[in-house]
Every structure is written in structure tokens, then in C-alpha cells.
Structure 1
Amino acid sequence: MRVKCIEIIDPETGEAVPGLRVGSVYTVLEMVTGPDYWMIRILDEEHDDPGSLWDPAMFETVDARIPSSWTLVLENGHMRLGPAVWQRPNFWNDYFSNVPQALTDFETGKRETLKSA
């Protein structure tokens, strides 16, 4: 899935933010929602892992194909659509704690997603 940035919405300034440019196309790595938020994770201009989370109102879809390696999980009022290897409980906590398996799973999910983009 690929999206094009159509506007910058910075909650504090409403101005440009590092890593994004209006008109640029980005690969979506994951979509997450909760009772009061909806975000997409993309690899921005800086390509820093694990990508960055943004308001989807800033983008329009240019390629709607969902990678075959993605799954949808509904749990406790939250929805996650992304690589299956990222869907286990506490994946992101483990990733940010540098747990080796989570780091490996992140790279696997990212590689599979980029390959299908």
C-alpha cells in the first residue's frame, strides 16, 4: 500500500515537519486504530526505523494493494493491520526494548511489505 502526502497537519504548528513532503509517495508499513485515534506507519524521507506514525488525513491512496503478509487483528477496541509477524502481543514493547526476536520480526515484516509495494 502506498500513499501520497497531500498536506501537513502538525498539531502544534500546522507547518512542515521533518521527514515529510507534500507530493511525496510513501509505503505504508502498518495501520493502527483505537477508540480515539487512527494512524498509519510509513517510512518517511529519513527512512528511520521503525518508521513514523501519522494522521491518515494527510495522505491519499495511490496504490491500495494490501501486502499478502499482512493480517488484521481486533483486540480491546483497537485494530492493527500490518505484517503478521508484528501482530503478537507486546511486539512493539519488545521492539523498543531491543528484544532480538522483535528486531528480527520487524525486519522480516518491513522487508515483506517493501517487496510487495
Structure 2
Amino acid sequence: MIVRCRQVLSPATGKVAPGHPGIRVGADYPVLEITTSADQVLLRIPERLDTSTDRDSPGLWDAVMFTVISERMPSCWVATLDGGVLTVAPPEWQRPGFWEDYFDAEPAAVAEYDRRRAEIITQA
């Protein structure tokens, strides 16, 4: 699934912001994960905020910021429902603590992220 950013909303206020270092209006992004609750849909987008590293900083962004360009769904996505939150993503990323491990640069989590990210982008 590919989306195009049409506006940037501040994660803190939810209001339209002039920009963000990791997201640009008009740019296309692969969707790595979709998380929905009763009042919000979030898309995980691979941002590259630190040019000194090769690692993404995959952030969650409000879906209203984007227009869908390609509806192709990656074959590795599975859906889980937990506490009223529906998540569609690779199963490895849905284990408790995965994102904390990734952001803490735990090697197994980084390797799993890189593997599934490449698969998602190839199928987009």
C-alpha cells in the first residue's frame, strides 16, 4: 500500500502544521502498518530522520494526512484485535515490546524490521 501525504498534522495538537522533518507534503510513502481504534486510524510510515544512520524511525501518522495511491496489501500482513484496537502488520511486529526493542536498537528486532520492511516495499 502506498500513500501520498497531502497535509501534515502535528502529532501533539492534531492541527495542520507547516511541515515535519520526516514527512513531506506531496511525497509518496509505503504503509508498513495500519492501527485503528474507535476514533482514529494511524499509518506507520518509514521516516528517515537521522541521516547519519541507515535506520528508519517508523512513525505513526493520522491517516487523514494521506491519499491512497496503491491499494496493494502486503502478503505478510495479518490482522489482530486487542482491546478494541485493530492492527494490520507483520505478525512479528505485533508482539508486545517489538517497537520498544526496535527503537532500542535490539539486533533481532532491527533485523526483523529490515526484513519485513523490504518485503512490504517490494510488494507495494
Indicate the TM-score class for this superposition, using the shorter chain for normalisation: 0.7 to 0.9
Please state whether the residue corresponding to 1:22 is helix, strand or coil.
coil
* TM-score normalised by the chain length of structure 2: 0.79
Matches within 5 A, 1:70-89: 70-89=77-96
Instruction: State how far apart, in whole Å, the 2-side matches of 1:40 and 1:27 are.
Output: 10
Given that 2:43 and 2:60 are in contact with CA atoms closer than 8 Å, whether structure 1 keeps it comes out as yes
Please state whether the residue corresponding to 2:57 is helix, strand or coil.
coil
Give the counterpart letter for 1:73 in structure 2: T
Aligned with residue 62 of structure 1, among 66, 69, 74: 69
Instruction: State how far apart, in whole Å, the 2-side matches of 1:103 and 1:17 are.
Output: 24
Q: How many residues align?
A: 117
- How many percent of aligned residue pairs carry the same amino acid? 36
Aligned with residue 32 of structure 1, among 28, 32, 35: 35
Given that 1:85 and 1:108 are in contact with CA atoms closer than 8 Å, whether structure 2 keeps it comes out as no
Q: 1:35 to 1:99 in 2, by over 3 A?
A: farther
Q: 1:64 to 1:106 in 2, by over 3 A?
A: same
Please state whether the residue corresponding to 1:98 is helix, strand or coil.
coil
* TM-score normalised by the chain length of structure 1: 0.83
Q: Which runs of 4+ in 1 moved over 6 A?
A: none
Q: 1:114 to 1:73 in 2, by over 3 A?
A: same
RMSD of aligned Cα (Å): 2.2
Matched, 1:101 2:104: no
The Cα of 1:85 is off from its aligned counterpart by: 2.2
Matched, 1:41 2:44: yes
Give the counterpart letter for 2:105 in structure 1: N
**Structure 1: gaps (5+ residues):** none
Query: What's the counterpart of residue 9 of structure 2?
Result: 9
Instruction: State how far apart, in whole Å, the 2-side matches of 1:46 and 1:92 are.
Output: 17
Please state whether the residue corresponding to 1:79 is helix, strand or coil.
strand
Q: Structure 1 residues 70-79 or 41-50, which shifts more?
A: 41-50
**Structure 2: gaps (5+ residues):** none
